[in-house]
Amino acid sequence: MGMPITVEIVTINGDNSTDVKQTIDSVFDYFKYVDLTFSTYKEHSEIMKINRGEIKIDDASKDMKEIFRLSEETKKETNGYFDIKNRKGIFDPSGIVKGWAILNAANIVKKAGYKDYYVEAGGDIQVSGNNDKGENWTVGIRNPFNIEQIVKVLKIKNEGVATSGTYERGQHIYNPKNKEQLFTDIVSLTVIGPNVYEADRFATAAFAMGRKGIEFIERLRGFHGYLIDSKGVATMTTGVSYYE
């Protein structure tokens, strides 16, 4: 997927190490499948075949149809601020696929019988239960002006965290209502949600809204946000303090 992936499973006495390894291998095999299906950088991926007109949406795989359905739902729920068609008019579902894939990967671990685990891809995270110290998992929000520095630590359990921003990949997010807009006033927006899929899709849409995106997250029940603007000033929703 062009990004680092981390899987951590907390084991207890009696867990079979071979089973743990097989579970982790299954997770990475799944991510490889997602990459081969949805990557806009691989010529022979299914999404690229759709963009070239070689496959019609009606003839696409079950997962591809699901992503298109979820994307349309998200577009409606965000008043048009989420759209998988990019500036060039081609389908790029990366703004929703990553969170969806992380959640599905986490469910592989869950179905294998584990209760305490952490799955992260490119900074977006799904956690369950506790860490190896028996405590809530800790997730750091990076300083977008110095990514080696953590500016906020969140303590989460059975939730997902996703960040959208321009500080690493540049102007890759766009406002579907103003496709030529460049984002110069905000640099990152982190969302905590009931799971990483929900957090990811709304983080993407909220970032496209600019400064008012944090207000959109504030109104979403069960979600919390942390925005950093171009001057390094943070704005957070009222519920973020719960995770400190």
The DSSP secondary structure of the chain, one letter per residue, reads --S-EEEEE---TT--HHHHHHHHHHHHHHHHHHHHHH-SS-TTSHHHHHHTTSS-GGGS-HHHHHHHHHHHHHHHHTTT---SB-TTS-B-THHHHHHHHHHHHHHHHHHTT--SEEEEETTEEEEES--TTSS-EEEEEEETTEEEEEEEEEEESS-EEEEEESTTT-S---BTTBTT----SEEEEEEEESSHHHHHHHHHHHHHTGGGHHHHHHHSTT-EEEEEETTS-EEE-TTGGGG-
Which CATH fold topology does 5-243 show? T-fold (3.10.520)
Q: pLDDT tens track of the chain, all 244 residues? A: 678 999 999 998 767 778 999 999 999 999 999 999 999 999 999 999 999 999 999 999 999 999 999 999 999 999 999 999 988 889 999 999 999 999 999 999 999 999 999 999 999 999 999 999 999 999 999 998 998 999 999 999 999 999 998 656 554 566 677 766 666 789 999 999 999 999 999 999 999 999 999 999 999 999 999 999 999 999 999 999 999 9
pTM reported for the whole predicted model? 0.93
